[in-house]
């Protein structure tokens, strides 16, 4: 129909090429930082005896979600250990935690800023829509371009995929703080920082925590996909199952992912309720 073709792919490639050569220092330092955090999480988790980690996770689940859920979590973790996916399980957990650290470090301040400025919010919102509607796979490509294969691009892709809900819900939570509470703190002579830390954040906490929960769950799903570019962990086990058509192996890995998902979800869903009165 057209005598020409809009060279979107050439443009994007050119930009990516340019960035990766010109800003290699930036990418290298990001890479080092990510690796550092992932390794620390992984080493930390694996340094503990499996039973000890199971007890610790079980206890945290108990505190956050009650006895029944804790029982399910402990049983699940014992199964994971039993079917020999303990190391892969912890690798995945380390990846998710690393991605979440960066998501919170970037997403929380961005959400707070967006709540304070309608203009910034106007910029951020379409960007978030774009990030969320884009197929998850597509993030893998630029991540590989900038960071090569392995853990780091996996974490980066996960970060990009998982950050929107935290920004959105932080923004929403702070905007939903009742106007009178803001007026009250102003009337008492609160500074901006006091308002934020003593009123807005605590009141918005349940919503923000829903954002953390959402981003962790999205992160987990992405970490599994990121195995395709060599992120390792449970995703790699699933992938192996698919490639070799070993249904049983794939199912086991999938089961481990589900167990991890349940534990993470229950724990983070409980965060929002910490500050509620204990009846």
- Interface contacts to another protein, rule CB under 8 A: 178, 180-181, 183-191, 194, 198-199, 202-203, 205, 275-277, 279
- Least distance between another protein and beta carbon 119 (Å): 16
- Closer residue to another protein in complex, CB, 56/274: 274
CA dihedral 123, 142, 94, 269 (to 10 degrees): 30
- Least distance between another protein and beta carbon 270 (Å): 16
Rounded Cα distance, 16 and 36, in Å: 25
- Least distance between another protein and beta carbon 225 (Å): 37
- Closer residue to another protein in complex, CB, 154/272: 272
Rounded Cα distance, 47 and 272, in Å: 30
Residue pair 143/154 in contact by the 8 Å Cβ criterion = yes
Rounded Cα distance, 177 and 195, in Å: 11
- Closer residue to another protein in complex, CB, 42/195: 195
Roughly what angle, to the nearest 10 degrees, separates helices 151-175 and 118-133? 140
- Closer residue to another protein in complex, CB, 69/170: 170
- Least distance between another protein and beta carbon 193 (Å): 11
Q: Which residues contact 181 (CB under 8 A, 6 or more apart)?
A: 199, 203
Closest C-alpha to 155, from 113, 102, 116: 102
Closest C-alpha to 178, from 189, 166, 186, 167: 186
- Least distance between another protein and beta carbon 202 (Å): 5
- Least distance between another protein and beta carbon 197 (Å): 11
Rounded Cα distance, 24 and 30, in Å: 10
Rounded Cα distance, 213 and 268, in Å: 5
- Closer residue to another protein in complex, CB, 83/108: 108
- Least distance between another protein and beta carbon 208 (Å): 13
- Closer residue to another protein in complex, CB, 117/194: 194
- Closer residue to another protein in complex, CB, 74/212: 212
Residue pair 157/140 in contact by the 8 Å Cβ criterion = yes
């Amino acid at each position: 129909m057209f005598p020409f073709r809009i060279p979107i792919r050439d443009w994007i490639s050119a930009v990516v090429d340019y960035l990766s050569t010109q800003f290699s220092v930036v990418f290298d330092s990001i890479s080092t930082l990510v690796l550092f955090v992932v390794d620390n999480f992984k080493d930390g988790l694996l340094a503990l005896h499996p039973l000890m980690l199971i007890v610790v996770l079980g206890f945290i689940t108990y505190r956050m979600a009650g006895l029944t859920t804790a029982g399910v979590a402990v049983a699940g973790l014992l199964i994971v250990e039993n079917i020999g996916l303990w190391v892969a399980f912890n690798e995945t957990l380390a990846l998710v935690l690393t991605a979440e650290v960066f998501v919170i470090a970037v997403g929380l301040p961005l959400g707070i800023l967006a709540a304070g400025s309608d203009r910034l919010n106007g910029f951020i919102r379409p960007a978030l829509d774009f990030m969320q509607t884009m197929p998850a796979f597509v993030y893998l490509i630029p991540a590989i371009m900038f960071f090569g294969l392995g853990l780091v691009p996996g974490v980066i892709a996960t970060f990009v995929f998982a950050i929107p809900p935290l920004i959105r819900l932080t923004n929403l939570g702070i905007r939903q703080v009742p106007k009178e509470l803001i007026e009250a703190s102003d009337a008492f002579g609160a500074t901006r920082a006091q308002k934020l830390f003593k009123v807005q954040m605590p009141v918005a906490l349940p919503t923000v925590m829903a954002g953390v929960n959402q981003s962790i769950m999205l992160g987990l799903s992405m970490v599994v996909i990121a195995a395709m570019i060599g992120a390792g962990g449970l995703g790699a086990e699933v992938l192996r199952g698919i490639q070799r058509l070993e249904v049983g192996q794939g199912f086991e890995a999938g089961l481990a992912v589900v167990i991890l998902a349940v534990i993470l979800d229950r724990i983070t869903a409980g965060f929002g309720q910490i500050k509620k009165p204990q009846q």
